[in-house]
Structure 1
Amino acid sequence: MAKIPASWATRVAVRRQGLRLELDLRDNLQAVVYYAGRYEPAMFRFLRDELRRGDVVLDVGANIGLHSLSAAKRLREVGGGRVIAFEPAADSLEKLQSAAERNKVAGLIETIPAALGDRTYQADLRADTRYDVADAGVRSLHNEGQLVQRVPVIRLDDWAREHALERLDVVKLDVEGSEIAALSGATRTLTRLQPRAVLVEDKREDVRARLYAVLDQLGYRHSGKVFDRNALFRPDRSVLTASTGRHSLR
């Protein structure tokens, strides 16, 4: 009797949340999408309702691209826009790129194979010791599990300057414990471009005060809304106007 390869039993092609996806069921996030039929539905609804024609969306820690793909699909529906997806893991990025082609939104998504931080260096992306190495959703620069790969870490401020980024409307930041570092390396960009919505994963009480303080210094206040553990921050007009001399926000 022939042995069935593990990949046959774990990789499935499905349609979920209006997207055609190929999922690896060894990853808890992808398993949730497969069995529950959706992932972070409140975030999905927020993006659907929030996005406008021409918006530029920054997805930091894009993983396999569920939110990047949903955002691009919505932007296509409303008349166009741009999604910039930062994802350091090569296997997750390949899934995102393949899904973008499959769902005919590749022209709206720019993928960057890097993590964001407060300085430029090479880091170890590691698995969580409690999960399979294929569990991409819990990989981190702070874990002590199996090495997945060495990845570049860059500052958003440097990338934005080098690529002449002149617009940014919505930011989603979910980087497994590196949120403060990523924000610290993005201060000039966020102050200059003033996105109208910044969503940050907020599930760790031990760092919440520091996280909120960093955003407060950038002129962003908690809106009181949380979408699937992603806290929504909106710009404080008075703070941003005083710091930049601008008198209006998009």
Structure 2
Amino acid sequence: MLQPLHKTIIGTIRRMPLPAARLAFRAYDKVLRLQGAEHLATTQFGARLYCNPLDLIQRMILHFGVWEPDVSQVIADNLAPGDVFVDIGANIGYDTLLASSRVGSSGSVVSIEASPRTFALLHRNLAVNASSSNVRPVNAAVSDRPGMLDLYEVNPGNIGAATTLASRGGTLMASVQALPLEQILTPDEMSRVRLIKMDVEGAEPPILRHLLEQLSAYPATMDIVVEATPDDDPESWQDVFARMRAAGFTAWAIENDYELEWYLRWRRPATLQQVEAMPTRQQDLLFTRR
């Protein structure tokens, strides 16, 4: 793909009135699909990723150079050279590579992806970025105990929707090794973790409870970004939220939306909003003790 031409086309589409922009985007996306099942995209921070426009996340990265832009800004703003970033649910590596560019050669990124198929895509994207030498990829599921977990495909059009929750009604795709986070991280990584991003499609509550039990092993400056989905288990999320607050964390809502219209109209991150109670709908949250 010719990147300057691609940027010009997307920029033109985003300036159109919204109804026309939707139609133009879908037509252009169809043209790209006809040209091939995969394209090498360039993100807004300069990383390159192989993207298939049939997949939701990869389609947005391909066209807009960004995924979850407000979450991306939180990650970028909270990392500096020398930091350690832990990406739980790394998918094809977008957040991993963003963090890699921020922490530099003196920092490191632990990129954890449970799905063997998606891990292969992650590994390939790391290989095409020379700057990713500070990334340690791990093919495992994070859990509150060692063992094996079944992984289910919920939506073929979004590989990021793969989950260990059978209740979401997916198709069994693999059985994967599961480990607590402290058995994945090295002692040095644990002592220097600045930010953990966790997006594991509803499996977060037991991981967070276990992490709180091990909290003394982590730096007091460690923050956590998590996709909270209370629809799966409202009581568990209420319990986790209360435990996080009792441990000294405040919670901040990060604006996010997956609709095409939001990406077409997005221009700048929204101000984070502090929340005092567990949201009742899906919400990306930043937990911090700072």
**Given the two structures, how large is their TM-score scaled by the length of structure 2?**
0.70
Alignment equivalent of 1:54, drawn from 75, 82, 85: 82
**AA of the residue aligned to 2:175:** R
**Kept after mapping to 1: 8 A contact 2:140/2:177:** yes
Q: Which runs of 4+ in 1 moved over 4 A?
A: 161-164
Alignment equivalent of 2:205, drawn from 161, 174, 180: 180
| Unpaired runs of at least 5, structure 1 | 1-5, 237-250
* Residue equivalent to 2:6: none
| Unpaired runs of at least 5, structure 2 | 1-32, 257-282
Alignment equivalent of 2:40, drawn from 4, 10, 13: 13
SS at match of 2:190: coil
| 1:23 pairs with 2:77 | no
* Residue equivalent to 1:94: 120
CA gap of 1:137–1:7, structure 2 versus 1, over 3 A, is farther
**Displacement, 1:216?**
2.5
- The equivalences for 1:227-238 within 5 A come to 227-228=255-256, 229-235=283-289
**Displacement, 1:190?**
3.0
* Residue equivalent to 2:133: 107
**Displacement, 1:192?**
2.0
**Displacement, 1:186?**
2.2
- Once the two structures are superposed, residues 80-107 of structure 1 have per-residue CA deviations (whole angstroms, 9 ceiling, x without a partner) of 3111111111222222222222121332
**Displacement, 1:58?**
0.8
Give the % identical residues.
24
Counterpart Cα distance in 2 of 1:158 and 1:102: 28
* Residue equivalent to 2:10: none
**Displacement, 1:161?**
6.5
**AA of the residue aligned to 1:168:** V
Alignment equivalent of 2:182, drawn from 141, 157, 162: 157
Counterpart Cα distance in 1 of 2:189 and 2:64: 40
Counterpart Cα distance in 2 of 1:188 and 1:140: 24
**Given the two structures, how large is their TM-score scaled by the length of structure 1?**
0.80
- Once the two structures are superposed, residues 105-152 of structure 1 have per-residue CA deviations (whole angstroms, 9 ceiling, x without a partner) of 332111111111111121111111xx22x6311110013322221111
C-alpha RMSD of matched pairs (Å)? 2.5
**Kept after mapping to 2: 8 A contact 1:85/1:112:** yes
Counterpart Cα distance in 1 of 2:187 and 2:64: 41
- Once the two structures are superposed, residues 181-213 of structure 1 have per-residue CA deviations (whole angstroms, 9 ceiling, x without a partner) of 111332354332134311111243535423312
Counterpart Cα distance in 2 of 1:184 and 1:208: 10
* Residue equivalent to 1:135: 158
Report the more deviating stretch, 29-38 or 176-185: 29-38
Counterpart Cα distance in 2 of 1:165 and 1:208: 25
**AA of the residue aligned to 1:109:** V
SS at match of 1:25: coil
**AA of the residue aligned to 1:56:** V
* Residue equivalent to 1:216: 245
* Residue equivalent to 1:190: 215
How many residue pairs get aligned? The number is 225
Counterpart Cα distance in 1 of 2:158 and 2:69: 20
**Displacement, 1:60?**
0.7
